[in-house]
Structure 1
Amino acid sequence: MDMMSVDVVSGRLPGSIAAARDSTRHFLEGLVPSLTPEAAETVVLVVSELVTNALRHGGGTCALVLATGPNGIEVAVHDSSPHVPRVRTPDLNGGAGGFGWPMITRLSTSTAVTRRADGGKTVTALLPC
């Protein structure tokens, strides 16, 4: 099993989200066999959405863990908030969001939210290879 951990420590900065995407691309480039470009971009999109949600709603800092296994690519994001992601009506006019969690659940084989002993949570998405 290949695994990589990335700490995303700066809250609300677009650079943190870009760094998470770049780290994910680097991780995926090292996989053998490699993913199709479409599958790789799907993983990057899910990472981007999960990290954005963690920074926006989960306390401003998070850690990203990527792992491969027989069932696919696992994306796990740890943050300090105990609140689970929720589906909300997408804001079609004001740009206030509401699109990320439904997209994550649609693109993933499975998702899970696990409460952590420290009071935070881990949001995990499994994506096909």
Structure 2
Amino acid sequence: MVHPAKDDSGPVDDGSLRTAEQARDMTRGFLAVAAPQGGSAVDAVLLVVSELFANAVQHAGGVTGFELKAGPDAVTVAVHVASTVSPRPLPLDASRPVGFGWHLVQQLSVQVRVAVHAAGKTVTAVVPCPTGVTPEG
């Protein structure tokens, strides 16, 4: 379920999203409004959402919340999970069809943070993307 944001955060999910596909669909709708001229940067945001969401489902027991926030030059993606174990990158190995997601997230983002808290952790990625949001001033 998507709830209207109480601040400038954009769509906030209450944990009802279960698949990366659902998260991408929500993100596409958000970006259609927040970054209509985003071009290939929109694809980068969608890839980061897909990878963070898929990693949370596969390695951290699922997603408990999901947030998107548009800033002047970037979109912030936050995925909340119940696990407190920090993501660990696997060594890159072209002969193995897995292990590229965390590396992709880090390459496509200008900042990636993992915050562990009492309810689990939040993985936040800031992805460059031109938006219609103007800086506060």
TM-score (normalised: structure 2): 0.80
Match of 1:53 in 2: 55
CA drift of 1:91 comes to 4.7
CA distance in 1, matches of 2:90, 2:77: 22
Instruction: Summarize the Cα distance change of 1:123–1:91 in structure 2 as closer, same or farther, 3 Å threshold.
Output: same
Q: Which amino acid aligns with 2:22?
A: A
Q: Please name the residue that 2:109 is paired with.
A: 108
Q: Secondary structure at the match of 1:19?
A: helix
1:62 to partner: Cα distance: 3.3
Q: What amino acid is aligned across from residue 82 of structure 1 in structure 2?
A: T
Q: Aligned with 2:52: secondary structure?
A: helix
CA distance in 1, matches of 2:30, 2:106: 22
State the 1:69 CA deviation: 1.9
Distance 1:64 1:93, change over 3 A: same
Alignment of 1:63-102 (within 5 A): 63-95=65-97, 97-102=98-103
For residues 115 and 79 of structure 1, the distance between their equivalents in structure 2, rounded to whole angstroms, comes to 10
C-alpha change, 1:71 and 1:116, in structure 2 (3 Å) is farther
Alignment identity in percent? Answer: 39
**Count of residues in correspondence between the two structures:** 121
Q: What is the distance in 1 between the residues matched to 2:104 and 2:11? A: 24
Q: State whether structure 2 residue 36 is matched by structure 1 residue 34.
A: yes
Residue in 2 aligned with 1:17? Answer: 20
**Is 1:111–1:123's contact at 8 Å kept on the other side of the alignment?**
yes
C-alpha contact (below 8 Å) 1:54/1:62 kept by paired residues:
no
Runs of 5+ unmatched residues, structure 1 = 11-15
RMSD: 1.7
Q: CA deviation at 1:22?
A: 0.6
CA separation in 1, counterparts of 2:56 and 2:70? 22
Structure-1-length-normalised TM-score: 0.84
Q: CA deviation at 1:52?
A: 0.3
SS in 2 for 1:126: strand
